[in-house]
Every structure is written in C-alpha cells, then in structure tokens.
Structure 1
C-alpha cells in the first residue's frame, strides 16, 4: 500500500432493512465522504477480513464514493479503509444472516477527534450512491450507476393519466426530487445477465414467474416525469405484463409458443421469444376461496395512491367474487386487529361497510399484521379450497420486524400447509419493493403493484382466476442449446430467478407458482453458427401439481422452421415482447442495449402491427417509451430504424 498520513474518521453505522441482504449471507455497504465539503471520495480501498471466509475481500469506492461487499458469510469482520495520504482506519462489524449493514465513513481534518454513532432502524440508500458497474466492486450482481434526472417541467406534470376503461381521468401526485419520501424507495439490483458460450455451458435454467410489479412501478415513475430507479426494473416483469394471445391447450397443462428473428439491436444475433401458457380453469371450476386481506393502515398509507386506492380495489374485488367465497380483513398500524372475520361475499353490505371504514393510524407493525392474518387463516382453513393471505401495503416496516429469518420461516411454513401469500404494493415514496417481492416468493404467491384503478381492475377482476387458482407449483424452465448450431446465448432478464442446471431435476428446490391461464414469456439472444438444418435447442418444463408430489416434465425440440428472416416477418406478439424487453433494458442502462437508440425503439413500437398495436396497454407502452426518451439526456449515436413491411401472421408459432 502507498504511504499514508494521519487523518481521523467519523463513522456512522446504520442497520439497513434486512430484506436487502442476499439469501444466506450478509452485506456491508456505505459511502466514504469528505467531511469539509460533503463530497464523495473515490478510489478508497475497503478491505473486509474475517475467520468466516478464506482470504480477504477488497473493493474500491466508485466515482460516487460508494462501496459494496455482498455475500458475506455470518461472522465478525474487520473493515479497513485506506487511501493514499490518509491514515488507515479499521473497525469491527458483526454480520448476521440476511442482514444488510451500512457504514458511512467521513474523512475528517486532523484534531477534530473520532466519533461513532450507532443508529437503529432503517436507512434509505441514496440514488447517487448505489452499487455501480463502473465502480470497482468485484460482485457480478451490481447495478449500473445512475444520476437522477432534473425535476419535471410544468408541462410534464400537467400531462394527465388516462385510466383507460374506467371513464376516469386522474393526475398522479407530483414528484419532488427534494422530498425525502421519494428517496426512500428500497430496491435491489441483480445486475444484467452475461452472454454465455455454449461450449462452456449449454444449459440455461430459471424459475417460472408471472410477476408484473416492476412495469407498474416504472409507469408510476414515468407518469410523474422522472426515470425509474434502475434497480426497480426487472425485464421479465415488463415482458410478462402483456397478453400475447397464446392459445389454450385443453389437452396439456401448458402450451408452448416459440419464434425467432434477427435482433434489431445486436447484429449477428437472433431474438428468441419463448412463451408458455398454463391451462385455463373456468370460473365455474375454480375452487372456493377464503381471502384474508392484510391491509397496512399506518400513517405512511395516508396518500391518495395508497389506502384510498386499496379501498377502491377491494370494492371491485367484492363484486368479482361469488357465493362460494369468504373474505376476512386484518389491519395493522402500531398494532394489528381483525376488522372483519370470515364473511361470505353474499353479505355485500357488511363487506363494503368494513372496507369504507378503514382509516390510517400509527406506525407500521407488518409482522403483527401477518401473524394475525395467518392465525385467522389457520383457524378458518378451507379444506379443498384456496386459502390466500393478500398483503396490501407500501412495504414499509418500521416497527416489529426484528427477525427477518423468523418471518421467512413462518411464511414458508404456512405456504407448505396450503396458506399462500400474494403481495400487492401501493404508492410511491416510503416504498419497499424488496420486502414485497421477497414475501410473495417465500409465500408461494405472486407480486403485483397497483399505481392506478385500471391496474387494480386488471389484478382483482380481469385476472382473478389466475391470481387465485394455482395450476402448477415449483415450475422451472430449461433450454439446452446445441453447440453445433448455437455459439452463444443470453437470457434477457430473470437475473434473480436463475437456477443451476442441477437444480432443474431436484424436486427439493423451490421455484415458481403458476396460476390458471397465466403466461410466462422469456426472451433470449442467440448467435447461430449458420442456418440450422433441424432443431437447434431443446426446451424442458418441469412442474408439480398444485397438491405437490413428484414433478412432471415436458420436453420439446425447437425446430429451425420457427426462425424468421426479419423483425418484420415475426408475429406481432414476438415484436411486442421484444419492444417490452428492450424498453426495460434501456431503462436499466443495460450494456447490451446501448446500440439501440430511443428513436429506434419508438420506431419498432410503431411496427408491432395489428391487432395488438391498437390495444390500450400497447398504445400506452409507446407513450411511456416516448416519455422515457424525453427524460434521458444521453446522446443518440445511431440512425433511426427504417420503416419495415409487416407480414400477415399474427401469432407466435405453437410447438406441438
């Protein structure tokens, strides 16, 4: 190390929300700053040593002064800060399982002494100091550095949001870049999948998921005139938001639809659209349900896009259920209480009265709310039916959540007994996306985000059967690429759903739950050696029946005939899925999407083709792309895509 001179440090040590930590590990993160001008210091060596791991872990702070040490086994660590011209400083930290610790270090002038402040509770991660792929942390799970755009113009704020299908026009709450609430939006980035040589690994395996929260969250940001947090963008959730019109296979649990075409953004590569649709269960065939709504009524839910929107959504749900179903309501603020015991939907006035009476109060004891909801579900378990806890919250938990491991264990234990958990997020500002997503996955449910009434209608009315009726558990997908035909490939998205190839056949591994009629779509980029003569890949789908038991497996070869000569010759669903994926990649500043300009993406959206192009949600996608383009200040370096002549076929080919 270079020679160092004396300096004194002030360390602020904070406990960040436990949900930010990697599963089975701990995380240490923080920022190194100059105490005189509060500026950040880059190039600081941060070294962690512990008897819990072999060797040492060293990173350098990035251009924002940020350092990140993920995947640390539990134990006692010595953290050492070193920079040329400054005195080295070391401090011990106890790292626990699934906890994230933040240590901010201020470099002080000589003679001011040393201070240490221990602060309990949560601490937001400022947008300007997040993990950066341009920094020098060695972790592959970093997010790209991001500087928030300037506050929106009056024109942008005056743009009204059309809540299509409802006949209502509402303006979203304005975004204020100085509002601390909007800085306290907790997200976790998982990096961007690399391109993989088939000679090294020909298997790509991931857990099936049909979540859509990320797209709605991004829309909420853009409707407020600001780009979304890059870590909030999960490509697969953008893609899975849209209905691609897959045919239902009445003779099989899943229908498989695959199509490929040359990539508009990556010369020499093909885009591979892989679509799976679960068997549809009719409304009459759906099992009776007991739904325990667990509603956050703490003070943070007072905003119009939080508790008032929850109440509107529940009123719509009451009308969508039938005489077979029962509803319970549990609320939690500082404490938890049962507002409505199990009540048949036919007692509509009683249900609506309980919903209308919901009011905000107190702190946020999410643990007490979930504990009470599960107790109510257990005591009123519906044999042979659907037993589902539905958490409606902004995800903030500032009271009562002291044992993350215990929460996960309880939620998982109830899921194994047949009481599953769906999480539905509401509101912007003081929002914890990480906690909401993790809870739904541990609880074997799904995660959605409601930014407006139309989204509530989509979740609670239009997709009610799929939300409630599970048709497959622990569903996994595996593609095996033939190295004779495929040189390399990249799975676009699903970064936090990746499985090892050995886990595909391991029935002990938890994976995705798929509801009635749910569709799961994945996008790959593949580089071919030439034109394949026969099949170039094999698709495997593995799942269990809703009741559990041994897994079943579906195997399909992907023939060369599904490859189209151009983007224009692909079906509208394949074009739409590519545009949705490319939009997400642009928003999260993916390295692989740099050659594609916003103008090109706008042009490609305009070429999706009928009948999809006329759908309100697809029209809105184009509007969101244009909004994002107007907010992104990075210069374009490529010419716009020329108009393409479209083909007549409007469906993704089905693999028989």
Structure 2
C-alpha cells in the first residue's frame, strides 16, 4: 500500500508560504552553464537524485522565524523535491469527454489533469532496452505570466514486442451485470469489448470469466484460446443484466479464479469491466483489496479497470486500480473499445516496470516557485523514493508518463533548472534501476505558443483544460475559447484525430459555460416585467 506523505516540522512554513507553491531565496555559488538539451542521461543502475541544499536561517520563507529571532523551533528549509508514483491512467479524460458529449459538465473531483495529459501522444525518445527514457523540456508561458514557465518531465518505455514474442497472457474478466449496466453503452459495450479482445488474443493465451450483480458467479474457468474461441464467445453472449452491484464479491471471486488459473511465466491480470456504482456489500476500495491482498502480493496479479457508462464510479475504480497495482481507462463507444483492446493491448497485458516512482529536484538558485499539475493522489514522501516497499505505479510497453510543472524562475536566472529521476523494479527480478534527465534555462527560453513544439503545446492545452474544469488557477491559463482555438490549430498541424476530439470537448465545455453565464434570471424567457 502506498504510504501517505508524512507530516513534518516545516508544515507551518509551507502553509504560510502558500501551500504547494513553494518559495525559496537565492543561494550563492557558481551557476552551471545553461543546459541547451534535454533527454535521458546517466547509466542505468542506482544513482542518487540531487539533494536539495539546506537553507540558512535568513533564507527561510516569509512567515518563518529563525532561531536568531528567539524562536527555539526547528524550521525546515523549503522543499525543492517533488516525488510521485507513476500513473498511466486515462479514464478521467475519457469520462469527461463522454459527459461533455452528453451535454453535462464533469464534476471537479473527477478531473485529474495527469490523466488528461497522458491521453495524448508525446513523441518522446524511447529507450533501447526495457527501462525508461527521461525527457525534460519546457517553455515560457508569457501573456500575463511572464516569469512563469511550464516544465515537462516525460518518461517513456520501449515499444511493445511483436504479438508473437510477448509472454502468454492469463486474463480473468470480471464483468458487472448489475441493473445499472442495462443502459446502452454499458453491458452491451463490455460484451463487444470482450468479443474484440477474444479475436485479438493468441491461441496460447488463456481467459476466465466471472460476473457479478448481487453475488458473483464463475461463468468460465481458465481456458486456453486455442480451439475454444467459440466457447468463450458463447459465454460472453449469454451475459444479461441482473440486479444490484456487489463489486467486492466480483473482485474477490475474480482473484480466486486468477489464482486457480495462475500460469507461471505468463502475464496474469484481472480485468474489471464495470460502471463501478457499488451499492451492495463492501464499497470501500481499500477494504475490497485487503480481502485479496495475498493474491496480489504472492502471485503478482495486477488489476486493469475498464470503466463504462454515463454514470460512472470514477473514484472507486481509480482507487481500486491504484491499490491493485494496475491502471484504468474508460471506453464510451466501440471505437474507444477497439483502441484499448486492439491498439493498446500489449501495454495493458504486459509489464515493463513495477513500483515505478519519479522524483524531480529543482535548483533553488534558479527556481523561485514550482507546482506539480495533478498527481494529488499519487504523491509519495520524498524520503520514500528509494524505499522499494512503498507502492509505486505499474507501467507497460509503449507507455508514456508526463508530469507537467508550473515553474517560476528567479529574475535573471541562468543555468540548471531541474533534474528528474525515475526509479523502478524489474517485474521479473525485482532489481531496482534508475534513469535521470535534466533541463536548464536555455531549453525553456522559447515562448510556449510561439515555439516549434506542437506536442508540448498539446500537453499544455490538455493540462489547462483540466485545470479550468476543476476550478484551478494556474498561471497563464487561457480562456476556454482560446484553448479551443489553439486545440483546433494543433489538430490541423499534427493531423491527430485525438487532438481534434480534444478541441471538440473544449468547445462543448465553452458552450455550456457561456450558456450558463448568459442565461437570464427567472424562467429563461427574457426580462421579467
């Protein structure tokens, strides 16, 4: 289980200084030359991340008292480290698009900026081996936030192996057949998704099928695909909606079947297809996973969540997969189902890294403030970065993970800005590896919207859009109308259909926001007499 970030003696200092936006004072010493390039650096193997230097008492943040003032409290220096577990989830963005398409605004608590950002191709350099590449770049925000920049930390795994070269898969499908799944776009879409996946899997792959409503039932024990595809399709076709939603019973039975059908050397996963609207039995994610904790730990069985439905239990599904060493996505139509179960199948079946974490060390000589955009529920205590018993994220082949920071540079800053380190465990040997990359002021001098980096601009649009939807206040955030225009131009220049869909989603949100602002009081038919 992921350990919560520990409270430390400097908490009062950070609160007085403005929460997550951390301000420090300039240090002395020679500045390094501006780093004009970014990318992976350093050999694989364990290397320490740069430590944040201690601040002298007179360098404390505003509001802190030093011992020279007669205060005997220990005053912690500003924290220039940012540590989080990697997250490849995209469900928050997929669900937001579904709601906006239905004419509804997503609730702010369902909007996770990192999942918006990670829904788009980034164009990062891929590593040659099985580890990560670390790509760090950025740009100046400008337009009312002249001293702010965006710094992008991009982590990428190598491309997926050919379908015939990956290890076999042993997948246990846990399918929600509760009454709420009767709505179009729920059970019918789950059945189509399973049919698509049955066609894509190899003969030496295996599947089992568990359903749940008020209770859980095993419909198909672990079965090899070879010679049994018709049997598997028939079992899927027979699924019909029933009554209540006992997610706990389904997950527990699914893990029981996964253990029974466990295949050594295979990729063993539980795939949960549900609207996650639990209303019967245990409804707390931690308690549900506690009941199958031994199966997760002893057999290394991971959980992949596929969300469906216009009413979707986003929080439960996300918590389940985070604690279940897996990831989650959302499918709203057959096109998205094909993307998940065909195009992205290897990334969802294989694992390239377990318990992966990232730590970014900012240079206090050049950086005045910084803020990680998103990842609020994936934070890890800085001192736990190299504690491999602390839960991280699981990452498959061909995945990219992006962390975007709002960074305020010091006046006249020149030189090193930040060093990013990713640490992960090899899924088979559990050996720890690290890779690093860094960025200097020279690499983030260009203006965001005037520069020649369309993928960074797409990342920025997605992050700003998410921040607006959840009522944030990032420096330099454009209006929804401006974001829609920029997304439209980027869709044309990149010829990327996913960016065009982003532009449409922003336009839909902007239209609803404008309608709310223009709607007159009363019955909506004009001025009251």
Instruction: Classify the TM-score, shorter chain.
Output: 0.7 to 0.9
Structure 1 distance, partners of 2:373, 2:89, is: 16
Give the drift of 1:257: 2.1
Which residue of 106, 120, 123 corresponds with 1:245?
123
SS in 2 for 1:201: coil
The ranges of structure 1 where at least 4 consecutive aligned residues each deviate by more than 6 angstroms after the TM superposition are none
The normalised TM-score by structure 2 is 0.80
- Structure 1 window deviating more from structure 2 (539-548 vs 257-266): it is 257-266
- Partner of 1:222 in structure 2? 100
Shift of 1:268: 1.5
TM-superposition CA deviations, 1:270-290 (whole Å, max 9, x none)? 111221111223123311011
Residue 273 of structure 1 aligns with which residue?
152
Q: Is the 8 A contact 1:582 1:593 kept in 2?
A: no
2:251 — aligned with what? 370
Larger RCO of the pair (alpha carbons < 8 Å, separation 6+)? 2
Q: Paired residue for 1:207, among 61, 85, 88?
A: 85
Structure 2 counterpart of 1:457, from 338, 343, 361: 338
Cα 1:502–1:222, aligned 2, differ >3 Å: closer, same or farther? same
Superposed CA offset, 1:568-600 (max 9, x none): 214111010000101101111112268521222
Q: Residue in 1 aligned with 2:471?
A: 589
> Aligned partners of 1:249 and 1:555: how far apart in 2?
12
Residues 548 and 494 of structure 1: CA distance in aligned 2, closer, same or farther (over 3 Å): farther
Q: 1:196 aligned to 2:19?
A: no
Q: The residue matched to 1:360 in structure 2 has which SS? A: coil
* C-alpha separation in 2, matches of 1:385 and 1:316: 21
Contact kept in structure 2, 1:259 and 1:570, CA below 8 Å: no
Task: Give, in whole Å, the separation in 2 of the partners of 1:366 and 1:520.
Answer: 29
| Correspondence 1:253-402 to 2 at 5 A | 253-264=131-142, 266-282=145-161, 283-346=163-226, 347-401=228-282
Aligned equivalent of 1:425, options 307, 322, 333: 307
Q: CA deviation at 1:512?
A: 0.7
Q: For residue 528 of structure 1, what is the aligned residue in structure 2?
A: 409
**C-alpha separation in 2, matches of 1:496 and 1:525:** 18
Checking the alignment, whether the CA contact within 8 Å between 1:239 and 1:580 is kept in structure 2 is yes
Aligned to 2:371: 490
Question: Residues 398-449 of structure 1, C-alpha deviation per residue, up to 9 Å, x if partnerless?
Answer: 22217765422234332212111111111023x3211111111111011111
| Structure 2 unaligned blocks of 5 or more | 5-14, 26-77, 519-529
Query: In the alignment, which residue of structure 2 is the partner of 1:106?
Result: none
TM-score by length of 1: 0.65
Secondary structure of residue in 2 paired with 1:195: coil
Q: Distance in 2 between matches of 1:494 and 1:470?
A: 21
In structure 2, the residue matched to 1:234 is: 112
Aligned residues: 448
Unaligned runs of 5+ in 1: 1-21, 25-139, 141-191, 637-656
Question: 1:367, 1:400 within 8 Å by CA — same for their partners in 2?
Answer: yes
Whether the aligned pair in 1 keeps the contact of 2:485 and 2:503 (CA below 8 Å) is: no
Q: Is the 8 A contact 2:262 2:268 kept in 1?
A: yes
More helix by share: 2
Show CA shifts across 1:19-62 (max 9, x none): xxx999xxxxxxxxxxxxxxxxxxxxxxxxxxxxxxxxxxxxxx
Shift of 1:531: 5.4
- CA separation of 1:325/1:623 partners in 2, compared to 1, >3 Å: closer, same or farther? same
Q: Is the contact between residue 247 and residue 283 of structure 2 (CA under 8 Å) also seen in structure 1? A: no
Residue of structure 1 in register with 2:384 after alignment: 503
Q: Distance in 1 between matches of 2:129 and 2:483?
A: 38
In structure 2, the CA distance between the partners of 1:500 and 1:412, relative to structure 1 (3 Å rule), is: same
Displacement after TM superposition at 1:229 (Å): 0.7
Asked whether the equivalents of residues 178 and 243 of structure 2 are also in contact (C-alpha less than 8 Å), the reply is yes
How far the C-alpha of 1:524 sits from its partner, in A, is 0.7
Pick from 424, 428, 431 the counterpart of residue 543 of structure 1. 424
Look up the match of 2:461: 579
Q: Aligned equivalents of 1:210 and 1:319: distance in 2?
A: 25
For the aligned residues, what is the CA RMSD?
Answer: 2.4
The CA deviation at 1:557 is: 2.6
Counterpart contact for 1:193–1:492, Cα < 8 Å: no
